[in-house]
Amino acid sequence: MKQVHIVSAILLATAALGAQAQDVGQSRAQVQAELSAAQRSGNVMAAGETGLTLRELFPERYAALPAVAGKTRSQVLAELTEAQRKGELPLGGEAGIAMNQVYPDRYPSTVRTAMTMTRAEVKAELAEARRNGDVLVGDSSLTLREEFPQRYPQRRASVAPTVAAR
């Protein structure tokens, strides 16, 4: 019974590789060579609904993969020091909140605001928005102008609203 599943998996893989061959323009011999290489290395899907390859199910049957070179100790320590300096390390617990999010004043800011306004400028902009009806009404997504069009004069279509000069 297991052989039937393996044969069906191989046939399925062959059909998938055959479909790829039509898209990529590979010859039949190239597709067959890729399939036999995948079978030898165990990179063929196993039968059933596991979603695993034969190499993942039976690692003892296949040669070990070459080890990937990792980072040196000094590289890891340098990254850790930089993350600590920026406050990118998470606080304890399940929230996953970084230190720089909880205590932003303790760490250098990586995001700079493009433009800052004084308090007076913000108040002037808010007053103009209220005069023009460009303030949102409660929890709705409508502005005062949209909610009460009779209270505000109609704007000309060619003139766009402007913010007070800074």
pLDDT in tens, 51-67: 888 888 888 988 888 88
Instruction: Map out the domains of the chain as residue ranges.
Output: 2-61, 73-106, 116-166
**pLDDT digits 0-9 by tens, 96-136:** 788 888 888 888 775 555 567 888 998 999 999 988 888 88
CA distance 60 to 56: 9
Strand segments, DSSP code E, in 35-112 are none
Number of Cα atoms under 13 Å in the Cβ half of residue 144: 11
- Judge whether 69 and 59 are in contact, CB under 8 Å: no
pLDDT at 166: 43
For residues 5 and 47, is the Cβ–Cβ distance under 8 A?
Answer: yes
- Contact status, residue 6 vs residue 47, Cβ threshold 8 Å: yes
Which string of DSSP letters, residue by residue, matches 100-122?
A: HHH-GGGS--S---S----HHHH
